[in-house]
Chains A and B, each alone.
Chain A
C-alpha cells in the first residue's frame, strides 16, 4: 500500500467507527431518556397512560398506606396531588413531608405506578429537581440551596 492508501484506510476506519457510535448515541437517546415532571406538569400536559417518566415532589403527610411490600402514597407539589403505588422496599429516608422522586409509568386507571423510588440522600440534600420545581411555585425556601 502507498502512504496515501494507508492514510485513507486509517481515516476511513475512524470515520466508520465514529459514524456507528454517533448512530448508537442518537438511537439510544431517542429510546432511553426519561423526562422529569411534577404532579402539576402531568395535569397540564395531559400525558398518556403508559408514558414513562420521573415524578418528583413531596410525600403528602398522612398519605402512606403500607400493606406488606405494597405501598400507596401521594406525591404533591402542594398544588396538585397524584396517587402513587409502589411494590418494594422504600429507601431509608422516605418520610412524610420529604422530597422524593419516583420513576415509573402513568397507569391507565389514573395514578402512577412506580418501580423505583428515590428519597433524598441525607438531611441536607433534596433532589435538585424537586427543589427547583417547588421553588418555581414559591413553596420552598432554603435548605439545600446556596446561600
Chain B
C-alpha cells in the first residue's frame, strides 16, 4: 500500500509541477500578480508531495517490502537499519527521486523566503524550476519508477552493492546532488532574466547566495567522494580523474567561476552577459554530470546503471534544457543592458582573470572527459584519457591562477595599484620562498617541484591571512584598534580568507602525498616485522570474523614507532554473503604527518600474505582543506549582506514606532 501511495504522490507532484511550470510565466506575461504568485504555493506543494513520496520509499526500505522491485534489487532483510535507510538513494531510481526532492526543496526555499524578489523574476524562475521538475519526474515515472512492483514476491532481497554500504557514501550523493541541483537556481534565474530581458543588481545579489550554497554542497560532496574512494577502494589514491569524478568537478570549476563573476556583477554592474552564460553553463555541466553517471556511457568504476533507454532520456532532457537555454541566450542576451568596462588592474580585473583561468581549466577537463567518447563515436577507436593528460593540462593552468589568488582581495575595486599590492605582498612571498627553501634543504634536495609546491601552498595560506591582517591594520595601528577593526570586518571577508586558505591547505596535502608517498608491496609471514617510513609493522596473524551480512578475514598488524605501540591496524578481505562479492577493507591510521595505509592481498599458500603498504604524508590535509573551504562558504553565507530574505535591521526601526490608528 505504501508503494502505491508513493507512486500516486509522485504523480500528484508532477501535476503540481505542470501548474508551476505554466501558470506563473503566463501571469508574468499578462502582468497578473495573483497568477504570478501562485508559483510560490505550487512550489511548496510540489515539494511536500515529492518529500512524501520519498518518505514512502524510505518506509518501504525500512520494512523490507520486497514486493517493490527497487527494494528487492537493492536491499536485504539482514542489512543494518542505517543502510536500509540510505539504500533508498544508493541506487539509480531512488537517487533520481532524491534529485527531484532537492530540486523541489530549493524551489520551496525561494518561494518561502523570496519576499523581496521582483515578482516577475520570482515567478519566471520558479516556473523554470517547474520545467526541470517536470522533466525529471517524467524521467522517473517513465524509465525508472522506484515504486514498480514485483510479483511473485521474493523471500529476500539481493542486497546493496557492498562497496556502497558505507556511511560516507550514504551522505555523498545527497551532498553532490544538493550541489548539482543548487546550480539549477542560478540557471532558473538566468533563464528568467533572459525571458524578461532585464537583468540588474538584485539579480546578482539573489544568484550569489544560491550559487555559494550549491558550491558548498558540491565541495563537501566531492571531498566526501574522494575520501570514500581513498579508504574503500583500497587503491591508496584520493583522486583518479575518473569520468564520474570529472563529472562533478566540472560544475565545481564553473560554479567557482560563477561565484566570482556574480560578485563583479553585483558590485560593479559589469560582466552581466558572461555571468548569465556562466550560470547556464554551470547547470548544463551539472546535467552532463547526471547524464554521464546515469547513462553509463563512460567506463567508470562508479557506473551503476547501464541502461540505454535512460541514457537517451537524460540526453534528451539535456538537449532541451542546454540547447533551449543557449538559444534563448543567443536571442535575448544582446538586448541586455551592457555594463561598463573597467581597468584591467583592479579587483574586477583580477576576477576576470580568475574566470578566464577557471573557464579554460573547465574546458580542458571537459575535453579530456569527452574526447574518448567523441573519438569512439567518430572512428570506433577506443582510447582512455587518464591522469597524465589532466596533470599536463589542468596543472599548468592552475599554477598561475593560484599564484594570482592573494593579489585579488588586496586590489581595490575600480582602479587598483598593482605595485603597491606587490610591495605589501613581498613579505608573504619572502616567507613562502623561505619555507620552500627550508623544505628543499631539510629533505636533502628532493624534487624541486615539490619544494616549490609547498612554497605555493604557503603563499596561498599566508596571503589569505595577510590580507585580513592588512585590513585590520595589524602592527600598523595599536593592538586594540586592530582588534576593533577585526570585529568590524564583514563576515564575507573572513569567508574569502578561509576559502582561499583552504585551497592552500588542499594544495599542501596534494603536494605532500604526490611527492613523498612511499608504496611497498611485499609478502609477510606471521610474526614478521617490516619497517616502512619510520613505522615498524608486525604481522600478528589472520583471523576470521562474521559481520551482519558478510564474513571477513582480518589481518592484525601492530604498528610501533620508536618501540611504542601506536596503532593496531586490521586490513581485511570481506565476502558479502548475499551478492557473493568480495571487498577489500584497508587498514588506515592517520598520524599528524600522514596516513599509514594497509591493504591485504592474496594468501601465498604457506601462511604468508601479500600486503601493500602506503605511507601517505599530509594526505588528510586534502580533506581538511576542503572543509576549510566549505567553512569559508558558511561564514560568507552568514553575512547579512548575502543572507537571503534576512530581515533588515534598518527596516525594523520604523516599524517599532507605534502605528497610528486608522
Question: Would A and B touch once assembled, by the CB under 8 A criterion?
Answer: yes
Pairwise interchain contact A21-B384, C-beta atoms closer than 8 A: no
Chain B CB count within 10 A is highest, among A9, A24, A66, for A24
Assuming the A-B contacts A6-B343, A21-B397, A31-B392, are A92 and B582 also in contact, with contact meaning beta carbons closer than 8 angstroms in the complex? yes
Chain A CB count within 10 A is highest, among B306, B381, B579, B612, for B306
Give chain A residues whose Cβ lies under 8 Å from the Cβ of B363.
21
* Binary contact readout A19-39 vs B (1 if CB under 8 angstroms, 0 otherwise): 011001101110111111000
Q: Is B38 an interface residue (CB 8 A)?
A: no
Give chain A residues whose Cβ lies under 8 Å from the Cβ of B631.
none
Pairwise interchain contact A21-B360, C-beta atoms closer than 8 A: yes
Q: Is B610 an interface residue (CB 8 A)?
A: yes
Give chain A residues whose Cβ lies under 8 Å from the Cβ of B161.
122
Q: Is B382 an interface residue (CB 8 A)?
A: yes
Q: Is B41 an interface residue (CB 8 A)?
A: no
A3 to B340, CA, bound (A): 10
Pairwise interchain contact B581-A123, C-beta atoms closer than 8 A: yes
Q: Which parts of A76-116 form the interface with B (CB within 8 Å)?
A: 87-90, 92-93
Q: Tell me the number of A-to-B contacts counted with CB atoms below 8 Å.
A: 126
A-B contact pairs, 7 of them (CB 8 A): A17-B356, A24-B393, A66-B604, A68-B610, A89-B601, A89-B612, A122-B163
Pairwise interchain contact B521-A32, C-beta atoms closer than 8 A: no
Give the interface SS of chain B, mostly helix, strand, loop or mixed. mixed
Q: Is B364 an interface residue (CB 8 A)?
A: yes
Pairwise interchain contact B356-A66, C-beta atoms closer than 8 A: no
Q: Is A135 an interface residue (CB 8 A)?
A: no
Pairwise interchain contact A92-B573, C-beta atoms closer than 8 A: yes
Pairwise interchain contact A69-B356, C-beta atoms closer than 8 A: no
Among candidates B299, B307, B393, B573, residue contacting A127 with C-beta atoms closer than 8 Å: B299
Pairwise interchain contact B601-A69, C-beta atoms closer than 8 A: yes
Assuming the A-B contacts A21-B397, A121-B301, A128-B296, are A6 and B381 also in contact, with contact meaning beta carbons closer than 8 angstroms in the complex? no
Q: Is B118 an interface residue (CB 8 A)?
A: no
Give chain A residues whose Cβ lies under 8 Å from the Cβ of B612.
88-89
Q: Is B371 an interface residue (CB 8 A)?
A: yes
The 9 closest A-B pairs by CB, nearest first: A89-B601, A36-B382, A28-B392, A32-B388, A146-B308, A32-B389, A92-B582, A21-B360, A24-B393
Pairwise interchain contact B521-A21, C-beta atoms closer than 8 A: no
Give chain A residues whose Cβ lies under 8 Å from the Cβ of B155.
none
A140 to B531, CA, bound (A): 47
Assuming the A-B contacts A29-B371, A69-B521, A69-B610, are A21 and B604 also in contact, with contact meaning beta carbons closer than 8 angstroms in the complex? no
Give chain A residues whose Cβ lies under 8 Å from the Cβ of B360.
17-18, 21
A21 to B398, CA, bound (A): 11
Assuming the A-B contacts A123-B579, A123-B580, are A32 and B386 also in contact, with contact meaning beta carbons closer than 8 angstroms in the complex? yes
Pairwise interchain contact A36-B384, C-beta atoms closer than 8 A: yes
